[in-house]
């Protein structure tokens, strides 16, 4: 009896203790994530970046979405970098590069004295190991590698033949066929160089514990809540980064995110809806940042699913949607009407393509001609605000009405973001809203990545297939003469407009808002910002 | 004392007058309750809106006119327009039908299933009672809205599924009510007598016990409609109930919250509509309780 009492007393003690301990640990956390103004003696500079969605994975090579790159861009570095606010090539981990006359061999000289966050040396061997890892994967594992470099080891259309180290700080990449945007491709966020020690050890789990050479080190990831990264004290670029810590918080609701910015819970917010811009500008505590536009928002029509397997139905939908009204209402005019699958700032844009005017009567006639049976379609709307479309749900409702006007019934469907992308990539949607922010400023990154048959299963969500465009796009990849190359893209855009796998909707100017004391923040057109230079006044 | 005496005969008279049936009696006492009458009038008003909505509303539910978006209330649009340029007044009138439908049907559903389970539990007792009562306990252990969210996420978001979810979460309330009522009626002499002359269980249950345990259900039901309307609105607000472009009030609120500062009318009117219907049902339910519950009489 006495023993029992003692036991229960002991248990009680443990319970009380654990409660106290739990309370302590949460206190500590509060301090760590606390406001930078809290008068900490060290004055830690913490930037809380509020964004619309969580990352899918933090291993950049396994993903294609912007939210993932937003974080990995700061943990990993690519061999070549883009300019501060453009897509001109700049040295990064590679200090110099040289292409052979035939465009089949590239030699890179690497930065010396760089270490990964886990202490592993960055050298030619590490680069080779990264390429080996990528090249021995498959489209399921590394979708973006497949899109950008034609395929994997042994694939017929693979661009990269082999990657070899030449000494400690020189890498030679040999190609199977010349690829005009090869260097631009290498500069893209997914091709950040990862620590070989870490990915060999972690395998598929590398995305939960990423290790790169970037200005920030990965600290923690609470799914659907926040990703925390901290200053890499041994960063090889002198004096950078300026911040001690960056916390990426996902707040899917636009107004909740703006509210969080107003209350000081976050310092920087993306996905600002244009209608809120005026009130932010009039607030002296806040400032607006405009991201240079390089995107397209579109309604994809899955060509393998009826009724969109019929080109007439797809054209009809193009005529049915009142793009201007949608842009005026839900982009507040902060967007251009889209008629091609890529924005006009990209070389090779075809301005001669007429595009489809808003014409419900013509749409009805086309539907009739196509023998559309009145079957209800599923209209997928993005659950999260995207830079190319601040409010997918509202745009979907407007489109739903446009379609109803021409006699096409639709049901709006939405899934959680990662599921949405996954299902759409498998071709499960009839019509879906989506968009794309260019990752390297090249036409190839729009037309080939999004609409070529080689990318069915990765980024070609409409399953569109066309022999002519396939030929043109592959030819453009190897064509090194700029003028000829642009001509090929222009031709492809004519066919794409005719075949209408998409309804291109808008090219938007994405807005961000931040506290007034933020300095040196220059949003990058690709949507992935390197936050090493950003600072507080 | 001396004052009481003259009053006595008139009281007796009044009671004789009233003894023309329990329902009439209840109506009389309900009529006297001014607040309850106001509730009944509000409810009647919304029922009329629900029945004749399409005739009253100047526009359909989804007549978008993007150029007319977020216009303040005016003579053209009494309640203003929403972010799609749709007439809010029309949408609220159409929405009355959805809200009342969810309110009535879900309560009818839970009353039917709850009563059936409650009667069986109360009448047969023993382990059947134990099983049914434990199921009720389990259902009641969840916060109701959480349970509704769970049910809707299994069934998929739609107004019908929201209705089903609300019906399910209300089952234990009615079940328990009936069960306790049955437990007490079971002991009444007329039931024992009926049993003694060999009346079948089925007839006993549905001809005698059920009708006699209905009054608290009516009261509870009226109040439950109010709760059901709020729950449907809450699910709509969370995106788990009505789907676009259905003009459900909760959904309208949720769509409008972005415009709280710029266009408050998009929130005020659907909010008022929810508040008024719920108030109406609550006032009416309170009045009914006073009228139907013999214990409340002096």
Name which of B64, B257, B261 is nearest A401 (Cβ-Cβ): B64
Provide the β-strand partners of residue A230: A217, A245
pLDDT tens, position by position, A48-62: 999 988 888 999 999
Whether the model pTM is above 0.80: no
What pLDDT, on the 0 to 100 scale, is given for residue B165? Answer: 94
Phi, psi dihedral angles at A214 (to 5 degrees):
-65, 175
pLDDT band for A299, please (50, 70, 90 cuts).
very high
pLDDT at B83 over 50: yes
Contacts of residue A191, defined as CB under 8 A and 6 or more positions apart, other chains included, come to A60, A61, A78, A79, A134, A145, A148, A185
Contact A466, A165 (CB under 8 A): no
Name which of B66, B243, B258 is nearest A329 (Cβ-Cβ): B66
> Which residues in chain A have their CB less than 8 angstroms from residue B64's CB?
398, 401
Minimal C-alpha gap between A275 and chain B (Å): 9
pLDDT at B111 over 90: yes
pLDDT tens, position by position, A498-522: 999 999 999 999 889 999 999 899 9
Rounded to an integer, what distance in angstroms lies between the CA atom of residue A50 and that of residue B196?
A: 74
Tokens of A389: 């479309």
Q: How many other CB atoms are there within 10 angstroms of residue B259's CB atom? A: 18
pLDDT at A266 over 90: yes
- Give first-to-last CA distance, chain A, whole Å: 68
CB contact under 8 A, B245 and A326: no
Give CA angle at A436 (A432, A439), nearest 5°: 155
Name which of B243, B245, B257 is nearest A255 (Cβ-Cβ): B257
Residue in A534, A529, A526 with CA at minimum distance from that of residue A74: A529
- Any CB–CB contact under 8 A between B244 and chain A? yes
Name which of B66, B258, B260 is nearest A325 (Cβ-Cβ): B66
What pLDDT, on the 0 to 100 scale, is given for residue B1? Answer: 42
> Which residues in chain B have their CB less than 8 angstroms from residue A398's CB?
64, 66, 84
Rounded to an integer, what distance in angstroms lies between the CA atom of residue B20 and that of residue B22?
A: 7
Tokens of A149: 């470099």
CB contact under 8 A, B84 and A411: no
Name which of A254, A322, A404 is nearest B258 (Cβ-Cβ): A254
What pLDDT, on the 0 to 100 scale, is given for residue B4? Answer: 44
What is the residue-wise DSSP string for A281-337?
HT-TTEEEEEPPP-EEEEEEE-TTSTTTTSHHHHHHHHHH--HHHHHHHHSTT-EEE
CB contact under 8 A, A279 and B62: no
What pLDDT, on the 0 to 100 scale, is given for residue A40? Answer: 46
Residue of B nearest to A399 (CA): B64
- Average pLDDT (A256-272) is 90
What pLDDT, on the 0 to 100 scale, is given for residue B151? Answer: 92
pLDDT band for A2, please (50, 70, 90 cuts).
low
CB contact under 8 A, B258 and A397: no
Most A-contacting residue of B62, B63, B64 (CB-CB within 10 A), to test interface: B64
How far, in Å, are A311, A350, A354, A431, A501 from residue A494 at the CA level?
Answer: 15, 8, 9, 22, 12
Residue in B262, B215, B272 with CA at minimum distance from that of residue B96: B272
What pLDDT, on the 0 to 100 scale, is given for residue A275? Answer: 77
Tokens of A144: 């973006």
What pLDDT, on the 0 to 100 scale, is given for residue A107? Answer: 93
What pLDDT, on the 0 to 100 scale, is given for residue A63? Answer: 87
Residue A458 DSSP one-character state: T
Provide the β-strand partners of residue A377: A410
> Which residues in chain B have their CB less than 8 angstroms from residue A255's CB?
257-258, 260
> Which residues in chain B have their CB less than 8 angstroms from residue A275's CB?
262
Q: Is the peptide bond before A272 cis (omega within 30 degrees of 0)?
A: no
Rounded to an integer, what distance in angstroms lies between the CA atom of residue B84 and that of residue B63?
A: 8
Mean pLDDT, chain A, rounded, equals 87
Q: Is A130 or A147 the better-scoring residue by pLDDT?
A: A130
> A–B: how many Cβ contacts below 8 A?
37
pLDDT band for A402, please (50, 70, 90 cuts).
very high
Rounded to an integer, what distance in angstroms lies between the CA atom of residue A93 and that of residue A116?
A: 12
Minimal C-alpha gap between B70 and chain A (Å): 10
pLDDT at B20 over 60: yes
Phi-psi region of A250 (alpha: psi -120 to 50; beta: other; left: phi over 0): beta
pLDDT at A334 over 90: no
CB contact under 8 A, A400 and B244: yes
Name which of B62, B64, B66 is nearest A328 (Cβ-Cβ): B66
Pairing of β A518-519 and β A511-515:
unpaired
Contacts of residue A527, defined as CB under 8 A and 6 or more positions apart, other chains included, come to A66, A69, A70, A291, A295, A387, A437, A510
What pLDDT, on the 0 to 100 scale, is given for residue A8? Answer: 66
Contacts of residue B196, defined as CB under 8 A and 6 or more positions apart, other chains included, come to none
Find the chain A residues whose C-beta atoms sit closer than 8 A to any C-beta of B.
254-255, 273, 275, 279, 322, 325-326, 328-329, 393-394, 396-398, 400-401, 404, 411-412
Rounded to an integer, what distance in angstroms lies between the CA atom of residue A458 and that of residue A452?
A: 10
What pLDDT, on the 0 to 100 scale, is given for residue B270? Answer: 95
- Any CB–CB contact under 8 A between B64 and chain A? yes
- Average pLDDT (B83-98) is 93
Q: Is the peptide bond before B245 cis (omega within 30 degrees of 0)?
A: yes
Torsion angle of C-alpha atoms B102, B108, B114, B118, degrees rounded to 10: 160
Q: Could you report the predicted ipTM of this complex, rounded to two decimals?
A: 0.74
Mean pLDDT, chain B, rounded, equals 87
Residue of B nearest to A327 (CA): B66
CB contact under 8 A, A397 and B243: no
> Which residues in chain B have their CB less than 8 angstroms from residue A396's CB?
244
Q: Is A20 or A495 the better-scoring residue by pLDDT?
A: A495
What pLDDT, on the 0 to 100 scale, is given for residue A38? Answer: 44
Q: How many other CB atoms are there within 10 angstroms of residue A463's CB atom? A: 21
pLDDT tens, position by position, B232-261: 999 999 888 888 889 999 999 988 887 887
Contact A213, A93 (CB under 8 A): yes
What pLDDT, on the 0 to 100 scale, is given for residue A391? Answer: 86
What is the residue-wise DSSP string for chain B?
-TTHHHHHHHHHHHHHHH-S-HHHHHHHHHHH-HHHHHHHHHHHHHHHHHHHHHHH-SS-TT---GGGTTPPP-SSSTT-B-TT--BHHHHHHHHHHHHHHHHHHHHHHHHHHHHHHHHHHHHH-HHHHHHHHHHHHHHHHS-HHHHHHHHHHHH-SSHHHHHHHHHHHHHHHHHHHHHHHHHHHTTSHHHHHHHHTT--HHHIIIIIIHHHTHHHHHHHHHHHHHHHHHHHHHHHHTTSSS-TT---HHHHHHHHGGGTTT-THHHHHHHHHHHHHHHHHHHHHHHHHHHH-GGG--
Provide the β-strand partners of residue A504: A298
> Which residues in chain A have their CB less than 8 angstroms from residue B261's CB?
279
Minimal C-alpha gap between A264 and chain B (Å): 19
pLDDT tens, position by position, B175-232: 999 999 999 898 889 888 998 998 888 888 888 888 888 888 999 999 999 999 999 9
> Which residues in chain B have their CB less than 8 angstroms from residue A401's CB?
62, 64, 84, 245
Name which of A275, A279, A397 is nearest B245 (Cβ-Cβ): A397
pLDDT tens, position by position, A478-490: 887 888 999 999 9
CB contact under 8 A, B243 and A411: yes
Most A-contacting residue of B61, B62, B63, B66 (CB-CB within 10 A), to test interface: B66
What pLDDT, on the 0 to 100 scale, is given for residue A69? Answer: 92
- Average pLDDT (A93-117) is 90
CB contact under 8 A, A401 and B69: no
> Which residues in chain A have their CB less than 8 angstroms from residue B84's CB?
329, 394, 397-398, 401
Residue A166 DSSP one-character state: -
What pLDDT, on the 0 to 100 scale, is given for residue A19? Answer: 56
pLDDT tens, position by position, A203-244: 888 888 899 999 999 999 998 899 999 999 889 888 888 999
What pLDDT, on the 0 to 100 scale, is given for residue B167? Answer: 95
| A19 exposure class (CB count in 10 Å sphere: 0-12, 13-18, 19+) | exposed
Residue of A nearest to B263 (CA): A275
- Any CB–CB contact under 8 A between B245 and chain A? yes
Name which of A325, A328, A401 is nearest B62 (Cβ-Cβ): A401
pLDDT at B9 over 80: no
pLDDT at A31 over 80: no
Contact A138, A78 (CB under 8 A): no
Phi, psi dihedral angles at A39 (to 5 degrees):
75, 30
pLDDT tens, position by position, A435-464: 998 888 889 989 999 999 988 888 899 999
How many angstroms from the chain centroid is the CA of residue B125? 29
pLDDT tens, position by position, B117-135: 999 999 998 899 999 999 9
Q: How many other CB atoms are there within 10 angstroms of residue B269's CB atom? A: 23
Contact A44, A267 (CB under 8 A): no
pLDDT at B297 over 90: no
> Which residues in chain A have their CB less than 8 angstroms from residue B66's CB?
322, 325-326, 328-329, 398
> Which residues in chain A have their CB less than 8 angstroms from residue B262's CB?
275
Tokens of B54: 């399409």
Rounded to an integer, what distance in angstroms lies between the CA atom of residue A31 and that of residue A54?
A: 23
Rounded to an integer, what distance in angstroms lies between the CA atom of residue B29 and that of residue B7?
A: 20
CB contact under 8 A, B64 and A398: yes
- Give first-to-last CA distance, chain B, whole Å: 18
How far, in Å, are A47, A210, A238, A297, B242 from residue A241 at the CA level?
Answer: 12, 18, 8, 33, 48
What is the residue-wise DSSP string for A382-414?
-SS-BTTBS-HHHHHHHHHHHHHHTT--EEEE-
pLDDT at A39 over 60: no
- Any CB–CB contact under 8 A between B67 and chain A? yes
Residue percentage of chain A with pLDDT more than 70? 92
Residue of B nearest to A257 (CA): B258
Tokens of A111: 């930065």
What is the residue-wise DSSP string for A472-492?
HHHHHHH---HHHHHHHHHHH
pLDDT band for A30, please (50, 70, 90 cuts).
very low
Rounded to an integer, what distance in angstroms lies between the CA atom of residue A374 and that of residue A406?
A: 10
Residue in B221, B281, B260, B256 with CA at minimum distance from that of residue B99: B281
Rounded to an integer, what distance in angstroms lies between the CA atom of residue B189 and that of residue B60?
A: 58
Most B-contacting residue of A329, A333, A405, A410 (CB-CB within 10 A), to test interface: A329
pLDDT at A192 over 60: yes
């Amino acid at each position: 009896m006495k023993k029992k009492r003692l036991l229960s007393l002991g248990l009680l003690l443990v319970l009380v203790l654990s409660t106290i301990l739990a309370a302590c640990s949460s206190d500590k956390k509060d301090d760590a994530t606390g406001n930078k103004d809290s008068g900490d003696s060290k004055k830690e500079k913490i930037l809380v970046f509020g964004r619309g969605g969580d990352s899918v994975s933090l291993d950049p090579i396994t993903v294609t979405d912007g939210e993932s790159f937003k974080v990995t861009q700061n943990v990993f570095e690519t061999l070549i970098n883009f300019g501060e606010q453009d897509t001109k090539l700049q040295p990064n981990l590679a200090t110099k590069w040289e292409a052979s006359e035939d465009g089949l061999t590239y030699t890179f000289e690497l930065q010396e004295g760089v270490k990964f966050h886990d202490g592993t040396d960055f050298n030619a061997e590490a680069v080779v190991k990264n390429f080996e890892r990528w090249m021995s994967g498959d489209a399921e594992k590394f979708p973006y590698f497949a899109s950008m470099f034609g395929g994997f080891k042994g694939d017929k259309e693979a661009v990269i033949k082999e990657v070899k180290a030449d000494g400690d700080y020189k890498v030679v990449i040999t190609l199977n066929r010349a690829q005009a945007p090869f260097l631009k491709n290498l500069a893209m966020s997914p091709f950040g160089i990862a620590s070989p020690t870490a990915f060999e050890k972690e395998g598929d789990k590398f995305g939960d514990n990423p290790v790169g050479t970037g200005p920030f080190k990965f600290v923690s990831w609470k799914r659907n809540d926040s990703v925390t990264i901290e200053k890499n004290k041994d960063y090889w670029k002198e004096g950078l980064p300026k911040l001690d810590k960056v916390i990426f918080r996902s707040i899917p609701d636009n107004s909740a995110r703006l509210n969080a910015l107003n209350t000081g819970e976050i310092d920087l917010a993306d996905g600002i809806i244009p209608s809120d811009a005026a009130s932010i500008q009039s607030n002296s505590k806040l400032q607006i940042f405009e991201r240079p536009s390089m995107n397209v928002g579109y309604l994809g029509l899955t060509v393998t699913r009826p009724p969109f397997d019929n080109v007439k139905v797809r054209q009809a939908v193009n005529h049915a949607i009142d793009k201007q009204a949608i842009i005026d209402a839900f982009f507040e005019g902060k967007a251009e009407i889209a008629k091609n699958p890529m924005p006009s700032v990209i070389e090779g844009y075809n301005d001669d393509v007429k595009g489809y005017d808003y014409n419900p009567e013509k749409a009805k006639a086309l539907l009739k001609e196509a023998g559309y049976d009145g079957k209800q379609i599923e209209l997928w709307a993005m659950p999260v605000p995207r830079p190319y479309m601040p409010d997918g749900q509202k745009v979907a409702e407007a489109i739903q009405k446009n379609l109803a006007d021409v006699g096409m019934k639709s049901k709006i469907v939405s899934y959680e973001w990662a599921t949405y992308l996954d299902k759409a990539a498998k071709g499960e949607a009839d019509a879906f809203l989506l968009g794309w922010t260019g990752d390297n400023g090249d036409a190839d990154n729009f037309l080939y990545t999004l609409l070529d048959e080689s990318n069915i299963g990765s980024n070609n969500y409409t399953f569109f297939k066309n022999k002519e465009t396939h030929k043109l796009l592959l030819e453009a990849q190897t064509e090194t003469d700029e003028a000829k190359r642009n001509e090929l893209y222009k031709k492809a855009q004519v066919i794409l407009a005719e075949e209408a796998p998409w309804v291109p909707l808008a090219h938007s100017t994405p807005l961000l808002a931040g506290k007034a004391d933020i300095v040196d923040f220059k949003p990058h057109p690709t949507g992935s910002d390197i936050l090493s230079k950003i600072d507080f006044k | 004392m001396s004052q009481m005496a003259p009053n006595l005969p008139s009281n007796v008279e009044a009671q004789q007058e009233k003894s023309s049936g329990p329902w009439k009696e209840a109506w009389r006492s309900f009529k006297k309750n001014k607040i309850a009458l106001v509730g009944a009038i509000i409810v009647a008003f919304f029922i009329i809106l629900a029945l004749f909505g399409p005739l009253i509303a100047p526009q359909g539910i989804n007549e978008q006119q993007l150029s007319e978006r977020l216009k303040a209330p005016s003579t053209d649009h009494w309640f203003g327009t929403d972010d799609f340029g749709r007439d809010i007044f029309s949408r609220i009138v159409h929405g009355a039908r959805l809200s009342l439908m969810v309110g009535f049907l879900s309560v009818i559903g839970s009353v039917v299933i709850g009563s059936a389970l409650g009667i069986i539990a109360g009448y047969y007792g023993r382990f059947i009672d134990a099983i049914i009562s434990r199921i009720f306990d389990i259902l009641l252990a969840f916060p109701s809205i959480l349970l509704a969210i769970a049910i809707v996420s299994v069934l998929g978001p739609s107004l019908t599924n929201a209705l089903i979810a609300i019906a399910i979460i209300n089952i234990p309330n009615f079940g328990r009510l009936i069960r306790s009522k049955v437990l007490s009626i079971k002991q009444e002499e007329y039931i024992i007598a009926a049993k003694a002359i060999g009346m079948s269980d089925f007839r006993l249950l549905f001809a005698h016990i059920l009708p006699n345990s209905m009054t608290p259900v009516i009261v509870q039901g009226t109040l439950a409609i109010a709760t059901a309307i709020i729950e449907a609105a809450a699910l709509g607000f969370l995106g788990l109930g009505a789907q676009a472009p259905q003009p459900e009030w909760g959904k309208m609120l949720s769509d409008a919250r972005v415009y709280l500062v710029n266009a408050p009318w998009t929130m005020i009117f659907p909010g008022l509509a929810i508040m008024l219907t719920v108030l109406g049902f609550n006032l009416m339910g309170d009045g009914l309780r006073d009228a139907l519950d013999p214990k409340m009489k002096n």
